[in-house]
Structure formats: C-alpha cells, structure tokens
Structure 1
Amino acid sequence: MQCPGQDTRYWKPGAVFEAKCPHCGSEIEFFKDEVSRRCKKCGERMINPKLDFGCASYCKYAEQCLGVLPPELLAGREDLFKDRVAIAVKRYLGKDFRRVGHATRVARYAEQIGKQERGNLAVILSAAYLHSVGAKEAWEKYQSDEPRLQEIEAPAAAREILTNLGANPKLIDEVCDIISYVDAPGANENQNFKIYYDAKMLADLEESAKEHPLSPEELEGLLANRFLTPSGRELASQELAKHCRKPQASQS
C-alpha cells in the first residue's frame, strides 16, 4: 500500500513547484514528495524546502519515506517523537503536577547531558519522561509510591504508551529496560542508561536538597560516587551547588 501523501491521485495544485537554488539562484523544480534535487546549473543538491516531516513521528509508512533523509533531518524526527512522548505522559499523569514537573526536570537534565555525551536522545528522553508513570500504577495497586514499586510498574505502562505512539520496537525495549532497573548500576551499563541515571539522580538530589541543604563535604562525596558520566557530574556540580549550606563564619 502506498502512503496517501505520496499518491499523485490525491495531489492538489502546488504539488509541483519551483525553488531557488541557495548556491547559484537558479530555479529548481520539485515534486512535493521529493526529499532533494540536484541543481542542473551548479550541481549542488538542495533539500526540498516545503517537505513536512511532522507526520514522520507517527506514520507507519515513515521508514519507506525517510530512508534517504540526511542525518540532520532524521535527528529532527527524534525531536518530534520525544515531544509526543512528553504530551502523552502529561495526559497520563493528569493533575499530578508534582510528578509532571519531576519528569520534565529529569528530561531537561537528560537532554543537556545527552547532547554532551552523544547519547540517543529519543531513547533517553522517552525514559526520562516515562519513568514517572510507574508512580501512578504503584499507588493504584499498592497505595504506595515506594521507588522499587515504581520501577516494577513503570515498564508495562510505558510500553503501552510507546506502542500507541507507534514507536520502534527496539526503542520500546530499550526504554522499558532502562526504567525497570531496580539495582545499583554496574560498570557495564550502556551510555543511554548512564545519561538517564545521572539526570534522574540529579533531579532527585536537587529536590531533596531544597528541603535539606547539602554541606560542601556532602556535595563533594555525591559528585565523586553517585554520577556515571563526566557531563552529569559537571551539571550536578553546577545545580547542586545552589542548594549547599554556606560555611559558618568562625568565631574569634
């Protein structure tokens, strides 16, 4: 079956148009579904300026359409997907604004660390948002949001959400594996897990430090022992330093 957007029977006026080559200014004729064309005058390849990749975050035909996309546009597809995950999680948690805020904070830190550590942002940010869905399930089943129960309950809810969004099965499996981790991390964890772990650890410690400020010595110990990536450690140093107790002035 052909994607309706590619079937010329459904095309409207404007489906064939001209655009100026950004290199030499010559006119290049595009069909609306073409990813790129080469300029006949200067030979440079130009990306179709009117091609809309928004549907790529959910369309089941996306793989056949996007197989020839350049890396920068494929990265944009991942950004679209993580935005849809964020919306789905906010709908799932409803009026639980505390957990929505926590998930958003973890995702924000995960994105900052992930870009520095070159992780897969689609996986990392999906895990960052979805780890909080376990709290709702744990409370409904056990009237408890103890962290271990959250980690037990989160994967099934996350799998359902990601499946409904049309996520790649490999992405679903990795995200569910990451958020189901109930033990202390080992030395052989993959990079995506380490980035997620550092982001969640930072968000948890920040929330705790707002109520119980850290001493400089406590912060030093946390940075040395609790973070798995250099970028996570650096970001934690910056953020947690805001919640440290100031040393008391010595009395003469």
Structure 2
Amino acid sequence: MKCPGQDMQYWNESAIYEETCPKCGGTVEFYKDDTNRKCGRCGHRMVNPRLDFGCAAYCPFAEQCLGTLPEEFVGNQDNLLKDRVAVEVKRYLKSDFRRIGHIMRVAQQAEKIARDEGANLGITLCAAYLLEIGEIEAAARYGTPTADQIIAEGQRLAAAILGRLAAKEPIVQGVGTLIEAYHRRSDRDSLEIQVLADAADLARLEEMRRDDPLQVREFGLPMVERLLTASARQLAQKMIAL
C-alpha cells in the first residue's frame, strides 16, 4: 500500500517547490515527499523544511517513512513528538471525550501563545497534553488527592508515556518540572509556566463562550487582567469581542 501523500495522482502545482540552501544560498528543488536533497552547488544535504510529520502519529508506515531521515533530525522533531503524545493521551482517556476536548483546547492555545512568546515549543506542548492526567489518576487512587499526589501521579504517567515514545531525557525532565510548577502555582517567572497557565485559562474561556456565551464578558474581562502574557491577553480580548 502506498501513502496517499506520496501518490502523485493527488498532487497539484504546489507539490514541487524551491528552497534556499542554508550553507551556500543556492537553490534546491524539492518534491513535497522528499525528506532531504543534496544542494547541486555545494553538496550540502538539507532536510525538506516543508515536510510535515504530523501524520506519523497515526500512520502505520511512519517507521518506513521516517527511516529515510537523518537520525539527528528525527530525534529533534518536537512537533512529531507532541502529536504522538496527543495520541497517547487520547488512548489513556479512552471515551472521556469531555476531558479530551478540554486538553486539546489547552494544547491549541498553548501552541499559539508559545509561538508568539518564544517559549520552548516542544517541552511546553508535551506538558500541555500531560498536565491533567495526574489529577485523574490521583482522584481514582486517593479520592480527594493532595497537590503532592497529583504531581507524583502526573510525573509518573508523563514519564511512562514519554518513555514509550523514546523522548530524550531533557524533555522528560522538563515536562516533569512543568507539571510540578503548574500544580504548585510556582515559578511564574518561567515563560513556559506562564504559557501553560494562560492556555488553561483561555481554554476555559473558550468553553464558557460555547456553553454560556452571556457570561463570557462578565467573567472574561477580569480574566484578561490576570493573564501573564501579552499574546494570551490579545487572544482573550478577541474571544470576548466575538
């Protein structure tokens, strides 16, 4: 079976394009399914900058496809990792669609804010997907869990999921640190924590706009004042204005 994305019958004129070699400034032509190509001028082999690996989170042919990439590039695909984390979290939550929807909204808001603010995108987005799973596990185990119990369960589950995905140790440690700081409401000087706190508030505002739009302005305006990043404040103001 051939991946539809690699089948030329589905391609259009945008499937072939030119990129600039980062070494010599020469022009390198890519087909959209090329993982890498060699520059004809200097011989540098460059990775296709437009190739999107999000499909690898679910595609059964992902291992074959990614195997053609330089090893160091595969290891640093933060966007691929966060997509795979999202799939693992959905598997963990099974049919809890309300919780899945909420976590996806938090992650979407976190991505917008992190890009604008310049936060560490890979660690922040992995943490955004994994922030709340500790609450679920701790509640099932302890009934009314303490912050320490929520953090311990969250870090344990996050480490297990990231370990299955072969995430590098700095990412595992970074996500664990963010989970602890988020639930303790500490380290607000950390940009990544600011992004996660704001993303959670924006997700709640988004849900309020869906469920009770008449309350959005009343509760949204005070929320804008307590948001920690300029990007989140702009996003909140747009939601309130709609």
Amino acid at match of 2:88: A
Task: Name the residue aligned to 2:13.
Answer: none
Q: How is 1:1-252 mapped onto 2 (pairs within 5 angstroms)?
A: 37-39=38-40, 42-43=41-42, 45=44, 47=46, 55=63, 65-66=71-72, 77-144=77-144, 150-180=150-180, 181-188=182-189, 190-208=190-208, 210-211=211-212, 213-214=214-215, 216=217, 218-225=219-226, 227-242=227-242
Q: What SS is found at the alignment partner of 1:204?
A: helix
CA contact (8 A) 2:28 2:39 kept: no
Supply the distance in 2 between the matched residues of 1:132 and 1:98 (Cα, whole angstroms).
13
Q: What SS is found at the alignment partner of 1:159?
A: helix
Q: Which runs of 5+ in 2 are unaligned?
A: 1-17, 20-25, 54-61
Supply the distance in 1 between the matched residues of 2:132 and 2:165 (Cα, whole angstroms).
17
Q: 1:74-108 CA distances to partner (integer Å, 9 max, x unpaired)?
A: 87x11111110000000011111111111101011
Runs of 4+ in 1 over 6 A off after TM superposition: 145-148
- The two structures have a TM-score, normalised by structure 1, of 0.65
CA contact (8 A) 2:217 2:240 kept: no
CA contact (8 A) 1:132 1:154 kept: yes
Amino acid at match of 2:169: P
Shift of 1:176: 1.4
Shift of 1:144: 4.7
- Alpha carbon RMSD of aligned pairs, Å? 4.0
The 1:90/1:147 distance shift into structure 2, 3 A limit, reads farther
- The two structures have a TM-score, normalised by structure 2, of 0.67
Q: 1:225-252 CA distances to partner (integer Å, 9 max, x unpaired)?
A: 2x1111011112222444xxxxxxxxxx
User: What is the identity percentage for the equivalent residue pairs of Structure 1 and Structure 2?
Assistant: 31
Task: Name the residue aligned to 2:7.
Answer: none
The number of equivalent residue pairs is 204
Q: What SS is found at the alignment partner of 1:167?
A: coil
The 1:159/1:109 distance shift into structure 2, 3 A limit, reads same
Q: What SS is found at the alignment partner of 2:183?
A: coil
The 1:124/1:186 distance shift into structure 2, 3 A limit, reads closer
Task: Name the residue aligned to 1:7.
Answer: none
CA contact (8 A) 1:206 1:240 kept: no
Amino acid at match of 2:177: D
Shift of 1:52: 10
Q: Based on CA coordinates, which of the two structures has the bigger radius of gyration?
A: 1
